Structure 1
Amino acid sequence: MAQPRRAVVIGGGIGGLTAAAALHHGGWDVTVLERAPSLEPVGAAISLAPNSLRALDVIGLGDEIRDLAAWQGDGGLRTSSGRWLSRTDADAVARRFGGPLVLLHRATLINSLAARLPAEAVRPAAAAVVADPGDADRPARVSTPDGDLEADLVVAADGIRSAVRRALFPDHPGTVYSGFTTWRVVIPVPGAEFASHETWGRGRIWGSHPLKDGRVYAYAAARTPCGERAADDEKAELLRRYGDWHDPIPAILAAARPEDVLRHDVHLIAEPLPAYHRGRVALVGDAAHAMPPTLGQGGNQAIEDAVVLALTQAPGPDRGNAVGDGLAAYTAERLPRTTAIARQAVKIGRLNMMTGRAGIAVRNTTIAALSKAAPLLFLRGFDGIADWRPPQPPYAAGKAPAGNRWRRTPRESRLHRTR
């Protein structure tokens, strides 16, 4: 009996664990090496669009995540005074893209992904480097403090500062600063009732979204010099920048403690990599195509990467059985798509981080007018993104929508009423 092929995944974040779960689902023997002492992510939420939920359907996890998450869509875009520039509707989003947009804590997603793996597959506090990427005739080799591991496939999901990326592509310039920093909080806000919204100001934005467990996820971004930090604490900095904005922003800030606020500068890969693989090593997620969060697609694209990678490693009539054949197909499938989405995210960042008063006035007036004339116009920006489907049908239960038309099953209707 043939031994299962062996994969080593470097990085236990969303992209790494999705890749591990997808490969394990396909019969691979998988080991996940995570540098941190545990898989518990630094607290923030993640929005999953229909494209990544369909990818999770491939490994049987999509419905579980839909159950655990809050459905999004009812809300819209506002000015700092609270005026609505455009409104969105959850049903319209689902009908257009074949499913809902959902929001959940990253820890919830991480736990669900890890539960798809054997307990012994995940090794925390395990720093790893690629000692040899391998080739068609020899396996890859990963070095750890406990010794070397050989693998038929190595998945590098080691994030935006990826050491594996630098080793595989030493001449690539790496990441650049986007020009803005972000803050995030996930906290209970007693008595807060509001529609999800993103608010655009002058060189600043804020977003507020309720989670299914009753907490609120809020994020902010502002143009700042790289590396700048508050002289006192980041809650005080948020109060200075957003304290006079519309409700529920003041209530969220009042409920937050300084230690609840996370701040990170945003970096991105401006020059695409020449490939997402070398030898027997594949890059996924931020390691391959770090992008601004302005489209909410960073984590979604990592999930797509992971599932497509696993699918391209499954033998089929149109490809050989060699790992290298699958990796070439993976790059061909993923590099053009993620490059286009990353570029679109950069463009959106320039739009919502505008600083000129005249330009902002024109922007807001145009958005408001277009929203009234064609309420679904702004959903077109996600055409080709949120309506993506995996290379092979994942719908074993027969729930695949036809085209972009979407109709709730009775079960989905119950979920919608309780979201």
Structure 2
Amino acid sequence: MHSTSVPSGSARGAVVVGAGVGGLATALGLRRAGWQVTVLERRTELERYGTALGIHPTAQTALERLGGGVAAALNRRGVPYRSAHVRRPDGSVLARLPLDRIEKKAGRPELLIFRPYLIDALVEALDGYGDVTLKLGERVDDPAAPAREYDLVVGADGINSAVRTAFFGSRSRPRHIGTVAWIGTAEFTSPLYGETWGEGRFFGMTPVEPGRTNWYAVAPEATTADELRGLFAGWHEPIPRILTETDPADWLRYEMRHLYPALPSFVHGGHIALVGDAAHAMTPNLGQGACTALLDAEALTRAVARHGEPGGLPAALRAYDTERRRSAQRTALASRTLHRLMATRHTRARDALLRLLP
């Protein structure tokens, strides 16, 4: 990725704050639409922690529209997700995840991809344009400064978004929900996938690539890495094996948070927009975080391209907000509601309810 200044010319200027999935995808869409794009990332290296991202068919379509060969990379490196169940700790099946219905409706399956592979594909696509600027180690403490310099400012800077706080206030902010997730990768293929729901905790396993299994364990927020194995002792295999054969030093700890209350708008002042977690950070229970970020990126850049010159930006941003806000916030609410169901201690009622669902 080039780190030199954007050449001067007649192209319009946009700055994207944040170089995660949503930020890089937005930069790709804007550059394809003819904008000069600068991406500012506070980290000195792109965040390359490993976990499996579920890419729903609708998000796959968004990647195809964004172009740059990212969808082809997804199809090449992604693993189809076709069979998974919800189980009790003893291994008995409570429900089947609706992956087959998703595939039947969309004509293609959900895909799981190792997050660094998707980041690499987005960076490679941006490199193909040659004149997109990615500046690492650029902390944006005063978002008003780039707002004075660029025609469009996109806040893709995550749940703790400085852009959101600066232009939308602090009423909507990250809230803890009382649980913590431990995430890792096991170096073997699990014989089964899905989630196992216990009392106040749950465990999930998905494919990520041949010979490896993505896993996550969610427990009360005070749980430490040393306590995690004990919490899932006696659960069905391969859960104990995964926790035994993976090194706690390699586990990622993620405090479960969401953005609350929901923002009244994803846009501000005719030239500020939010995408991804900056706009609607959600719990990961539906596996829709990356998907909603990609849908945001595609919708925003399509609206900007359709409305043409910078003078059309206010209309473009209104169109983006109309298309994405309610949909993304419904997904966030559904994910939070599912988390409550999964983490409840009233397991008999929950399990009975789950058996009644189609």
TM above 0.5 = yes
Residues 1:125 and 2:137 are matched in the alignment: yes
4+ residue segments displaced more than 6 Å: none
Partner of 2:66 in structure 1? 59
Partner SS for 1:330: helix
Q: How many residues align structurally?
A: 345
Counterpart selection for 2:119 from 100, 110, 116: 110
The gaps in structure 1 that reach 5 residues or longer are 134-138, 142-149, 371-376, 378-419
The residue aligned with 2:166 is 167
Alignment CA distance shift 1:299-1:193 (3 Å): closer
Kindly indicate whether residue 302 of structure 2 is the aligned counterpart of residue 305 of structure 1: no
Q: CA deviation at 1:131?
A: 4.2
- Residue 383 of structure 1: aligned partner: none
After TM superposition, give the deviation of residue 363 of structure 1 in Å.
2.3
**Residue from 341, 348, 352 that aligns with 1:361:** 348
Return the match for 1:283 from 274, 281, 290. 274
Cα distance in 1 for residues equivalent to 2:217 and 2:40? 32
Of the three residues 17, 22, 30, the one matched with 1:10 is 17
Mapped to 2, the partners of 1:88 and 1:171 lie a distance apart of 37
Q: CA deviation at 1:239?
A: 0.4
Superposition map of 1:233-272 within 5 A? 234=225, 236-272=226-262
TM-superposed CA distance for 1:327, in Å, is 1.1
For residue 194 of structure 2, give the secondary structure of its aligned residue in structure 1. Answer: strand
Match of 1:97 in 2: 106
Q: Is the 1:71–1:90 Cα contact (8 Å) retained in structure 2?
A: no
SS of residue matched to 1:244: coil
Query: What are structure 2's unaligned runs of at least 5 residues?
Result: 1-7
TM-superposed CA distance for 1:164, in Å, is: 1.2
Q: Deviations over 1:292-319 (max 9, x none)?
A: 11111111111111111101101359x9
* C-alpha distance in structure 1 between counterparts of 2:98 and 2:338, whole Å: 21
Give secondary structure in 1 for the equivalent of 2:305: coil
Alpha-carbon spacing, 1:82–1:229, altered in 2? closer, same or farther (3 Å): closer
Q: Is the 8 A contact 1:11 1:35 kept in 2?
A: yes
Percent of matched pairs sharing the same residue: 34
Q: Is the 8 A contact 1:276 1:331 kept in 2?
A: yes
| Structure 2 CA distance for partners of 1:53 and 1:169, relative to 1, 3 Å | same
Give yes or no for the alignment of 1:296 onto 2:283. no
Alignment-mate amino acid for residue 307 of structure 1 = E
More helix by proportion, 1 or 2? 2
CA positional deviation for 1:38: 1.0
Contact 1:276 1:335 in 2 (8 A): yes
CA distance in structure 2 between the partners assigned to 1:347 and 1:8 by the alignment? 34
Describe the SS at the equivalent of 1:81: coil
Q: For residue 217 of structure 1, give the secondary structure of its aligned residue in structure 2.
A: strand
Note closer, same or farther for the CA distance 1:330–1:29 as it changes in structure 2 (3 Å cut): same
> How far apart, in 2, do the equivalents of 1:335 and 1:341 lie?
10
> Does residue 30 of structure 2 align to residue 36 of structure 1?
no
Using the TM superposition, give the Cα deviation of residue 331 of structure 1 relative to its aligned residue in structure 2, in angstroms.
1.3
Letter paired with 1:217: N
SS for the counterpart of 2:209 is coil
- What's the counterpart of residue 219 of structure 2? 222
SS in structure 1 of the partner of residue 158 of structure 2:
coil
CA contact (8 A) 1:70 1:211 kept: yes
Distance 1:156 1:72, change over 3 A: same
What TM-score results when the alignment is normalised by the length of structure 1?
0.77
User: Do the aligned partners of 2:307 and 2:313 also contact (CA within 8 Å) in 1?
Assistant: no
Counterpart amino acid of 1:67? R
Q: 1:70 to 1:124 in 2, by over 3 A?
A: same
Cα offset, 1:193, TM superposition: 3.8
How far apart are residue 97 of structure 1 and its match? 3.4
1:93·1:101 contact (CA, 8 Å) conserved in 2?
yes
- CA positional deviation for 1:286: 0.8
Q: Distance in 2 between matches of 1:302 and 1:345?
A: 15
Counterpart code for 2:174: T
1:196 corresponds, among 193, 196, 199, to: 193
Counterpart Cα distance in 1 of 2:125 and 2:35: 13
Deviations 1:203-257 (A, max 9, x none): 1111011222421100111233xxx352xxx1x3220111221111111112210
Paired amino acid for 1:22: G
Q: Supply the AA of the counterpart residue of 1:207.
A: G
Distance in 2, Cα, partners of 1:9 & 1:55: 19
Paired residue secondary structure (2:15): strand
- Aligned-partner Cα distance in 2 for 1:238–1:47: 25
Across the aligned residues of Structure 1 and Structure 2, the Cα RMSD in angstroms comes to 2.2
